[in-house]
Amino acid sequence: MLDQHQERQYEIIGNQLVLMVKRSPFFVRGFMFTFSFLFFLLPLVGLFGGLVMGMGLHIAYFMGMFVFGVLGFYLLRISLWNTFGKEIIQFREGRVEYVADYGWFKDGCKEKVMDESLEFSVRPIGFEDDHKGALIIGEGDSAVYCVTKMPNSELNELIKELRNCNTI
């Protein structure tokens, strides 16, 4: 069972399951957001500084902006996931739709065709002593692998609810 002070990391609303990522510590999120914005800002400062100093435009400026832009976007995506991240799983007739929601944007909808009966299981994550895992919906090639790490006790409670739910 969950501790009284812990909030559940999931919600079942009709035929939709929402798995919410546990927020990382404020200091870590602040560090990641700061560096992700610096990765976008510093190449622009370098470009304008070089132009002001009369160095002209070079291909290296654009290569630097591309590399730092990709790194900044990746770090921003991780920062948003650790702050606002949630997985939205919609159960439809014969299929499951999966969307990763980062708060400021969403990934594309992934759809998997499922058999008549849905199977739910736990995929262990981390060290064995952590007793944490992630939800797996379905089996084989049509399985949907969730990434939200949750305590095994909460996952087992979720699986019981999903099996007993009439709308899924």
CB 154 within 8 A of CB 8: yes
Q: What is the pLDDT of residues 57-75, one digit of tens each?
A: 878 888 888 999 999 999 9
State how far the Cα of 145 lies from the Cα of 28, in Å rounded to an integer. Answer: 26
Show the tokens assigned to 17.
């399951």
Question: Locate tokens 């939800």: which residue?
Answer: 135
CB 78 within 8 A of CB 32: yes
pLDDT at 23 over 60: yes
| Domain positions in the chain | 10-21+85-164, 26-82
Mean pLDDT of 21-27: 90
All residues at 6 or more sequence positions from 149 whose CB lies less than 8 Å from its CB, including other chains: 22, 125, 126, 132, 133, 134
What's the pLDDT score for residue 168? 64
The string of pLDDT tens digits covering residues 119-135 is 888 888 888 888 888 88
In this structure, the number of other CB atoms found within 10 A of the CB of residue 149 comes to: 17
Q: Which of 107, 105, 102 is CA-nearest to residue 79?
A: 102
- Per the DSSP assignment, residues forming a β-bridge with 137 are 120, 144
Rounded to the nearest 10°, the torsion over CA 146, 151, 157, 163 is 20
Q: Are 136 and 143 in contact (CB under 8 A)?
A: yes
Is the confidence at residue 162, as pLDDT, over 80?
yes
| pLDDT score of 1 more than 50 | no
Query: What architecture is domain 10-21+85-164?
Result: Roll (2.30)
pLDDT tens digits, 27-59:
999 999 999 999 989 888 888 888 888 887 878
- Percentage of residues in the chain having pLDDT higher than 70: 93
pTM summary value: 0.78
- The average confidence (pLDDT) of the chain is 85
